[in-house]
């Protein structure tokens, strides 16, 4: 038995609000629009639960008996249901907060390469925890929940390039690793006075790139499901457009 829901297809003219959603480990999600509606969804409770569970799984795996295998299956199912519930809760808060919106989501396809995780003897205990957190949380699932709930609510989600979203200044366009001192929570632009929460900076950059997707939608009549990666020239041209974007609620690009 299947459930079908009829809805009117959104158009660029009906989606006037632009939203950016950044996902990560410190905050599972940070959303923002140009009206400064910015909910944060902390990941502290997730990390607090993930670390003891990982230690328990490690002990059970070392045991290797049939009873511990059954227990591992039970633990995995419980964790999976908990993640589903948490992701559903976040998406249920994000989508209704931004009605009739084009919601930008980072393309997470190369996320494992971007984390540059260390392994083996080179990895410290802190790095191993970061590796585990990056691998275990279902960010793609969260994006999927936001995308289908957006359609049901008359909005639309679009995937955008995640390239340097946390290193690019949305005010002046300067892009540098030095804008994130020690990869900390603060973004400190080296070229202008902007000092802001790094995850909020990333969410603003995602919203700006959703603007480009909307402009292409208006021009071509087709909303691209994800960034074009067929050639280096296409990527270079797109990233040049990123460098020209500026975030300002008062003087930002016209819709």
Comparing CA positions, the residue from 191, 145, 190 lying closest to residue 28 is: 145
Predicted local confidence at residue 234, as pLDDT: 81
Q: For 56-91, how does the pLDDT look when each residue is reduced to its tens digit (9 = 90+)?
A: 666 666 676 777 777 677 767 777 888 889 999 999
Predicted local confidence at residue 103, as pLDDT: 97
Q: For 17-42, how does the pLDDT look when each residue is reduced to its tens digit (9 = 90+)?
A: 999 999 988 899 999 998 888 999 99
Pairing of strands 186-188, 27-33: unpaired
Question: Does the structure show a pLDDT above 80 at 44?
Answer: no
pLDDT, average across residues 167-195: 93
- 202: which 2 tokens? 């990333």
In angstroms, the CA 117 to CA 26 distance is: 16
Cβ neighbour number for residue 23 with a 10 Å cutoff: 27
Q: For 130-159, how does the pLDDT look when each residue is reduced to its tens digit (9 = 90+)?
A: 444 444 568 989 999 999 999 999 999 999
- 68: which 2 tokens? 């511990």
Which H or E element spans position 53?
helix 44-63
Cβ neighbour number for residue 3 with a 10 Å cutoff: 4
Q: What is the domain partition of the chain in residue ranges?
A: 17-243
Comparing CA positions, the residue from 186, 138, 141, 191 lying closest to residue 166 is: 186
Q: Tell me the pTM.
A: 0.80
């Amino acid at each position: 038995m299947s459930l079908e829901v009829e809805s009117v297809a959104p158009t660029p003219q009906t989606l006037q609000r632009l939203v950016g959603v950044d996902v990560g480990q410190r905050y599972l999600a940070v959303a923002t629009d140009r009206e400064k509606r910015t909910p944060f969804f902390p990941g502290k409770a997730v990390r607090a639960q993930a670390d003891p569970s990982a230690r328990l799984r490690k002990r059970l795996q070392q045991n290797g008996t049939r009873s511990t295998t059954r227990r591992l299956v039970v633990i995995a199912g419980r964790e999976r249901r908990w993640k589903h519930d948490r992701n559903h809760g976040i998406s249920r808060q994000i989508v209704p907060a931004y009605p009739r919106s084009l919601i930008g989501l980072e393309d997470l396809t190369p996320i494992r390469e971007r984390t540059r995780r260390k392994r083996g003897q080179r990895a410290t205990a802190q790095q191993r925890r970061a590796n585990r957190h990056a691998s275990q949380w279902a960010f793609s699932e969260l994006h999927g929940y936001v995308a289908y709930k957006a359609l049901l609510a008359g909005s639309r989600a679009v995937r955008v390039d995640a390239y340097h979203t946390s290193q690019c200044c949305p005010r002046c366009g300067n892009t540098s690793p030095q804008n994130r001192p020690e990869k900390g929570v603060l973004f400190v632009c080296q070229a202008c006075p902007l000092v802001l929460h790094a995850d909020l900076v990333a969410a603003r950059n995602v919203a700006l790139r959703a603007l480009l997707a909307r402009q292409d939608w208006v021009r071509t009549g087709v909303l691209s499901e994800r960034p074009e990666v067929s050639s280096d020239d296409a990527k270079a041209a797109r990233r040049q457009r990123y460098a020209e974007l500026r975030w300002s609620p008062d003087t930002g690009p016209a819709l």
